[in-house]
Structures are given as C-alpha cells and as structure tokens.
Structure 1
Amino acid sequence: MEAQKKLVMGLFLFVVFVSESGVRAWTGEIHGRVVCDVCGDSSIGPEDHVLEGAEVAVLCITKSGEVLNYQAFTNAKGVYTVAETMPESDRWDACLARPISSFHEHCTHLGDGSSGIKFNYNNPSGYSHTVKTFIYRPASMPTYCI
C-alpha cells in the first residue's frame, strides 16, 4: 500500500512539473485479464476462474523511439493494469502484452493464442486499451470436464 502511495505521489508531482514547464502531458493505460480455463474448452464458463497474482509483461515503444518495459500482476479479479504519464511527444506508439507466469499451482499451462498480443496505441490522453484475456489451463483436466 505504501508503494502505491509513493507511485501516485510521484505521478502527481510529474504531472505538476510537466504542466508548469509548458510540456503537454499525456496519460495512457493498458489492462487485461488472466483466467484459468479449467476444462480447456477455450470458452469462459462457470467452472473457470480468474488468476490472482499472474504476471504479465507489457513492452511499449514510444513515438520518440524509447522502449519501455512494464511488469504487472493480476489482482483478486484477475485484472492487471499498466499506466503511464509522460510528455505528449513521448507517448506510446505500439505495445506488446504477453503473459509471463501463473502462480496458481493447478493452472500453469499457457492456452493456445495466449503467447502475446501486439497492438498500436492510438488512444488520446486519459483513455485505456483493453487487451484480450490471457488463458492458462491445468496440466490435467478434472474428470467432470470429460
């Protein structure tokens, strides 16, 4: 909690500095979910559940060519979020989101089509981009799935 307070205060001070220096600030956000597909049927059903603590990496290239690498973990709702405030001239241009690991002991195998998602970030300041859900599957399906 203390780290979050420091992050919020740092972002606030950055926005104040940027606005006082005459540089126009831009804020972007990327978020998505990570789910355990218990039966491995590629559809989210009542037997499936979100994965808390799953690690996701987000790599973005800015308009000025800088490469930014973010690490995020999912919350209790299986949602991860990456947010940044920077000068408009340095805003995100293109990003790649990819799952790194699931710490859920029964659901650790990455599902098909969940290796990573590339996208252009064209949103104006204050808007977010939602990445499609990343899916993990158990090593062996429960008998009720068969």
Structure 2
Amino acid sequence: MAEMEMQKKVMMGLFICFFVSGVRAWTGEVRGRVVCDVCGDSSIGPEDHVLEGAEVAVLCITKSGEVLNYQAFTDSKGVYAVAETMPESNRWDACLARPISSFHKHCSRHGDSKSGIKFTYNLPSGHSHTLRSFLYQPSMVPMYCM
C-alpha cells in the first residue's frame, strides 16, 4: 500500500511540474493481475490464487513514435501497474503487455494461449486501462482438478 501511495505522489508531482511549465500534461496507467490457474482450465476459480512477485513487461508506442518499455512486478494481491505522466502531444498510442516470469516453482508455466495483449490506449488523462489476468499453471495438475 505504501508503494502505491508513493507512486501516486510521484505522479502528482510530475503533473504539477507539467502544469506549472505551461505544457498540458497527460497521465496514463496500465494495470492487471497475475494468477496461478491451479487446475489449468484457463478460467479463474476458487482453487486459483494470485502470484506475488510475477514480472510483467509493458511496451508502449507514443503518438510521436517513441517506444517506451516498462517493467512491473505484482504485489501481494497479484496486481501490477505502470504509469507515466508526459505531455499530451506525446501520450501513449498503443501498448503491448506480456507476462515475463513467475518465480513460484509450483506455478511457473505460461497458461495463456496468447503470450501478450495488444491494445490501443485511447483513455483520457488520469484513467487506467485494466487488462485481463495473465495465467500461469503448475507443471502437474492436482488430482482434485481431474
């Protein structure tokens, strides 16, 4: 929780810097979760649990063509987030988010048939784009799943 508060303060500070300098600022955020799909059924159920410390990469292209690469790790609730404040004229245009790794030995295989999520970022400043959960599966499915 303290990390999110710190992130909000940093974002607010960046927003104030842009506002004071006369440049119209834009702030965007991409967030999602990483889950262990225990039964490997590609859906989230009561047997599944979030993965803390999973790594996710988010690659965004700005309206001016600049490529920005972000790295995030999930918190204790399995949530990751990346955020950026920049001039409105240079805001994100499109992004690709993909899971990189799970450090949990019991749940480390990519469970999604698609390795990443591509999307157009067309939200106004201050809004979050929330993605579907990335799934990892155990190497051996428990007997109670069969």
TM exceeding 0.5: yes
Q: Can you list the C-alpha shifts for 1:87-119, whole angstroms capped at 9, x where unaligned? A: 100100000000000011100000133400000
Distance 1:18 1:35, change over 3 A: same
What CA RMSD, in Å, does the superposition of the two structures yield over aligned residues? 1.9
Secondary structure of 1:17's counterpart equals: helix
Correspondence list, 1:19-98, <5 A: 19-98=19-98
Secondary structure of 1:27's counterpart equals: strand
Deviation of residue 5 (structure 1)?
Answer: 7.5
Query: Number of aligned pairs?
Result: 146
Are 1:115 and 2:106 counterparts?
Answer: no
Instruction: Report the counterpart of residue 144 of structure 1 in structure 2.
Output: 144
Distance 2:50 2:5 in 1: 26
The TM-score, its normalising length taken from structure 2, stands at 0.91
Task: State the 4+ residue runs in structure 1 displaced beyond 6 angstroms.
Answer: 1-6
Residues 99, 116 of structure 1: 8 Å contact kept:
yes
Instruction: Report the counterpart of residue 125 of structure 1 in structure 2.
Output: 125
Distance 1:42 1:2 in 2: 32
Q: Which runs of 5+ in 1 are unaligned?
A: none
The TM-score, its normalising length taken from structure 1, stands at 0.91
Residues 112, 134 of structure 2: 8 Å contact kept:
no
Distance 2:76 2:17 in 1: 34
Secondary structure of 1:18's counterpart equals: helix
Secondary structure of 1:77's counterpart equals: coil
Which letter does structure 1 place at the counterpart of 2:41?
D
Distance 1:6 1:74 in 2: 16
